[in-house]
Structure 1
């Protein structure tokens, strides 16, 4: 079972406009998918896998990132 959590975040208007432009030209993506991909990529780039707990978190972030990128519209 994949659980989800809602997040309310404020972003700069310029970023929001860029996101809207991207979503208009990529109908197979939605805001939730973009944020999931972006956040998981950030965690992969800035995380470590030096100890068992962080290694597990790193693998989970990697799984979310790959699942998000290769998700196919139904």
Structure 2
């Protein structure tokens, strides 16, 4: 099952303009895909897998990151 949670976030205007430029040049990507990839990569880079629960969370974040990164446009 692939569940989604909607997030409303304010971002700096410069970041929004950069994101819009990226999306304009990469039509196979959308805003949701970019945010999923960015957030999962952040969690991977900043995780501490010292407990079984943390290890499971790391693996789930890794799965989301890889699925998002290598998702093919349909």
Q: Which TM bucket (shorter chain)?
A: over 0.9
Q: CA RMSD in A?
A: 0.4
Q: Distance in 2 between matches of 1:40 and 1:6?
A: 15
- Name the counterpart of 1:57: 57
**Displacement after TM superposition at 1:18 (Å):** 0.1
Query: TM-score scaled to structure 1, two decimals?
Result: 0.99
The answer for unaligned runs of 5 or more in structure 1 is: none
Runs of 4+ aligned residues of structure 1 deviating over 2 Å after TM superposition are: none
Which of 1 and 2 has higher RCO (CA within 8 Å, sep 6+)? Answer: 2
Query: TM-score scaled to structure 2, two decimals?
Result: 0.99
The answer for unaligned runs of 5 or more in structure 2 is: none
Aligned positions, number: 74
